[in-house]
Structure 1
Amino acid sequence: MSYEPPRPIRGLLLTPEDREAPARARRLCSLGLGERAEPALDAFADHLARLTGAPYAMVNFVGEERQFFAGLRVPAEGPPARADGTRRTELGRTLPREHGFCPHVVVRHKALVLEDVCDYPRFAGNPVVDEHGIRSYLGAPLIDSTGMALGTVCVADVAPRPWGRAGLETIKSTAAELAARLERRTDDGLPL
């Protein structure tokens, strides 16, 4: 019996090509975003977690090579253990661009609802599933007045979760609210 390696699945891009990435990186730099944690964005993420009942909430700015969580709320008890009892990696402020689901939201300029990531082969193999135990995701793009998606507002859970229409409307409205606040902040020179 011989072993034949699996053939690659044609057309299945795990991380979408992002032609806006260089322009987005310049725009984020001009807005002073995506390089440091911001207490106001941490508070926004905490509010979003309470609003949705999700253990994880993020304000994520997507650059050319990485994602940066300028706003982050993680559960105090840390990520769940793996089936073999070993601990998973704690979610930090940065992720490679090919990890997670936010790059898909940014490229598509549309909200993404994944009630159980394992139901979608395209997303089930994403490193955040194994490394951090993420099983469900809800995210919407932060679209500025130029029409550019700067990043996302998102929540995630370690269990499958029916986000429903209410969850979708909540994430979309909070993303629009935050995008407007970010631009007002830079226009007026005020903090969030």
Structure 2
Amino acid sequence: MSYEPPRPVRGLLLTPEDREAPARTHRLRRLGLGERPEPALDAFAGRLAEHTGAPYAMVNFIDEERQFFAGLRTPGAGPVVLPDGTRPEVGRSMPRDHGFCPHVVVRRKALVLEDVCDYPRFAGNPVVDTYGIRSYLGAPLIDSTGMVLGTVCVADVEPRHWGKAGLETIKATAVELAVGLERLEGSAGA
């Protein structure tokens, strides 16, 4: 009889209840965020990917129904090829129960997953099978009202040791971007 490690139980993957979603959705609409790609946020995600060396970087706004990557950087050499030979395309939106950003938003603090397969709650997430994501680092975008608008995050298809430097980088990046988003609101007169 050989030992087989337990497989992730998909039932453990519960997207946390997000009681702030209606207010966040309203705030995002007021700010004009989360409806379309933003070239400045794409550039921001590109700089974050370069700084961390991660193939994926996102500025993600989360409303009641979905996640929207207003800033997105994907691998420059084309989509990742998974072990089964598929090449999944990363789009601008994703259901709320996919990925790890909804957890960051509800927790209101950074999340470091050096190898998502080490955590049964996260190993069964659809992004693991669909996109081959194996590591994640994300921090909440908290505005001056205390509202979590979404996240700034990076992901890789290989396990990664993000370390303290990675955690500090993602947290500082989130603060920097939140301040920039506040300036947008002030200049728009909203």
TM-score by length of 1: 0.90
Q: What's 1:131 paired with?
A: 130
Distance 2:37 2:74 in 1: 14
Deviation at 1:124, TM superposition (A): 0.3
Asked if residue 153 in structure 1 is aligned to residue 155 in structure 2, the reply is no
* Unaligned 5+ runs, structure 2: 1-8
Aligned to 1:51: 51
C-alpha displacement at 1:188, in angstroms? Answer: 2.0
CA contact (8 A) 2:13 2:122 kept: no
For 1:42 and 1:65, how far apart are their aligned partners in 2? 22
Q: Is the 8 A contact 1:14 1:126 kept in 2?
A: no
CA distance in 2: counterparts of 1:84 and 1:39, whole angstroms:
33
Alpha-carbon distance between aligned partners in 2 of 1:134 and 1:12, rounded to the nearest angstrom: 18
Report the Cα distance in structure 1 between the residues aligned to 2:159 and 2:21, rounded to whole angstroms: 31
Q: Provide the C-alpha distance between the structure 2 equivalents of 1:175 and 1:187, rounded to a whole number of angstroms.
A: 19
Within the alignment, does 1:74 sit opposite 2:69 as a pair?
no
2:64 matched to 1:64? Answer: yes
Q: In the alignment, which residue of structure 2 is the partner of 1:23?
A: 23
* Distance in 2 of aligned mates of 1:79 and 1:133: 11
* 2:24 partner amino acid: R
Specify whether residues 13 and 81 from structure 1 end up closer, same or farther in structure 2 by C-alpha distance, changes over 3 A only: closer
Q: Within the alignment, does 1:98 sit opposite 2:119 as a pair?
A: no
2:165 is aligned with 1:166 = yes
Per-residue deviation, 1:83: 2.4
Contact 1:14/1:123 (CA < 8 Å) preserved in 2? no
Task: Kindly state the Cα deviation for residue 12 of structure 1 after the two structures are TM-superposed.
Answer: 3.8
Deviations 1:81-129, CA, capped at 9 Å, x for gaps: 33232x1421110000000000000001000000000000000000000
Provide the aligned length of Structure 1 versus Structure 2: 180
Paired with 2:76 and 2:148, the residues of 1 have a C-alpha distance of 30
Report the secondary structure of 2:37's partner residue: coil
Gaps of 5+ in 1: 1-8
Counterpart of 1:141 in structure 2 is: 140
User: What TM-score results when the alignment is normalised by the length of structure 2?
Assistant: 0.91
The answer on 1:178 being equivalent to 2:177 is yes
Q: How far did 1:13 drift?
A: 5.0
**1:20-63 deviation line (CA, Å, top 9, x unaligned):** 00000000000110000000000000000011010000000001
Letter of the 1:132 counterpart: Y
CA root-mean-square deviation: 1.4
Q: Percent identity?
A: 77
Report the 3-state secondary structure (helix = DSSP H, G, I; strand = E; otherwise coil) of the residue aligned with 1:151.
Answer: strand
